[in-house]
Chains A and B, each alone.
Chain A
Amino acid sequence: MPDLPQKPLPDGQGEGFRVSTASPIDKLVGMIDVLPGGTVILSSVEQVLNWGRSSSLWALGFGLACCAIEMMAAAAGRFDMDRIGTFFRGTPRQADLIIVSGRCTIKMAPIVRRLYEQIPEPKYVISMGSCATCGGPFYYDNYSILKGIDTIIPVDVYVPGCPPRPEALYEGILKLQEKIKKEPFLRRRAGVVPA
Chain B
Amino acid sequence: MALRTEELILNLGPQHPSTHGVLRMILTLDGENILEVEPDIGYLHSSVEKMMEYRTYVQSVSLADRGMDYLAALANEEALLRAVETLGKIEVPPRAQWLRVIFLEFQRIASHLVWLGTWGADLGATTMFLWCFREREQVLDLFEKSTGGRLHHVYFRPGGVYEDIPDGWVEQALAFCEEFPGHIAEYEGLFTANPIFEVRTKGVGVLPKDVAMNMGACGPVARASGIAFDVRTAFPYEKYAEVEFDIPVQQAGDCFARYQVRVEEMRQSVRIIQQCIAKLPPGEIRAPKVPITLRLPKGEVYTRTESPRGDLGVFLVSEGEEHPYRVKIRAPAFSNLYALSEIMRGWKIADVIAILGSTDIVLSDVDR
Give residues in A with beta carbon < 8 Å to B.
61-66, 68-70, 72-73, 76-78, 90, 103, 105, 107-108, 111, 115, 137-138, 140-145, 162-163, 165
Are A163 and B129 touching (Cβ within 8 A)? no
By CB atoms of chain A within 10 A, which of B22, B70, B137, B364 has the most? B22
Shortest beta-carbon distance from A57 to chain B in Å = 18
A61 / chain B contacts, CB cutoff of 8 Å? 17
Q: List 27 A-B contacts (CB under 8 A).
A: A61-B17, A64-B21, A65-B70, A66-B152, A69-B151, A70-B151, A72-B114, A72-B118, A72-B133, A76-B117, A76-B134, A77-B130, A105-B44, A105-B45, A108-B14, A111-B14, A138-B51, A141-B54, A142-B46, A142-B51, A143-B50, A144-B46, A145-B46, A145-B47, A163-B150, A163-B151, A163-B152
B53 / chain A contacts, CB cutoff of 8 Å? 141
A62 / chain B contacts, CB cutoff of 8 Å? 15
Whether A108 touches B47, Cβ cut-off 8 Å, given contacts A66-B151, A69-B151, A76-B130, is: no
Whether A137 touches B137, Cβ cut-off 8 Å, given contacts A69-B151, A143-B47, is: no
A144 / chain B contacts, CB cutoff of 8 Å? 45-47
Are B66 and A77 touching (Cβ within 8 A)? no
Shortest beta-carbon distance from B323 to chain A in Å = 11
Are A111 and B15 touching (Cβ within 8 A)? yes
Shortest beta-carbon distance from A70 to chain B in Å = 6
A105 / chain B contacts, CB cutoff of 8 Å? 42-46
Q: Which of A63, A77, A78, A141 contacts B21 (CB 8 A)?
A: A63
Shortest beta-carbon distance from B129 to chain A in Å = 7
Judged by a CB distance under 8 angstroms, whether B146 is at the interface is no
- B171-226 contacts to A, CB under 8 A, are none
A145 / chain B contacts, CB cutoff of 8 Å? 46-47
A63 / chain B contacts, CB cutoff of 8 Å? 21
Residue of A nearest to B73 (CB): A66
Shortest beta-carbon distance from A63 to chain B in Å = 7
B118 / chain A contacts, CB cutoff of 8 Å? 72
**Digit string of B70-82 for contact with A (CB within 8 Å is 1, else 0)?**
1100000000000
Q: Is the contact region of chain A dominated by helix, strand, or loop, or is it mixed?
A: loop
Residue of A nearest to B16 (CB): A90
Give residues in B with beta carbon < 8 Å to A.
14-15, 17, 21-22, 42-47, 50-51, 53-54, 62-63, 66-67, 70-71, 114, 117-118, 129-131, 133-134, 136-137, 140, 150-152, 364
Residue of A nearest to B43 (CB): A108
Whether A69 touches B51, Cβ cut-off 8 Å, given contacts A77-B133, A115-B15, A144-B46, is: no
CA distance A85 to B293 in the complex (A): 49
CA distance A138 to B45 in the complex (A): 11
Q: Which of B50, B70, B137 contacts A142 (CB 8 A)?
A: B50
CA distance A44 to B99 in the complex (A): 61
CA distance A140 to B46 in the complex (A): 11
B14 / chain A contacts, CB cutoff of 8 Å? 108, 111
Are B15 and A142 touching (Cβ within 8 A)? no
B364 / chain A contacts, CB cutoff of 8 Å? 65-66
Whether A137 touches B62, Cβ cut-off 8 Å, given contacts A66-B70, A78-B134, is: yes
CA distance A77 to B126 in the complex (A): 11
CA distance A72 to B66 in the complex (A): 17
Q: Give me the 8 closest cross-chain CB pairs, A-B, nearest first.
A: A76-B133, A66-B70, A141-B54, A108-B43, A144-B47, A77-B134, A77-B130, A78-B137
CA distance A168 to B338 in the complex (A): 37
Are B47 and A162 touching (Cβ within 8 A)? no
B46 / chain A contacts, CB cutoff of 8 Å? 65, 103, 105, 138, 142, 144-145
Shortest beta-carbon distance from A123 to chain B in Å = 16
Shortest beta-carbon distance from A177 to chain B in Å = 24
Residue of A nearest to B117 (CB): A76
Are A70 and B150 touching (Cβ within 8 A)? yes
Are A66 and B15 touching (Cβ within 8 A)? no
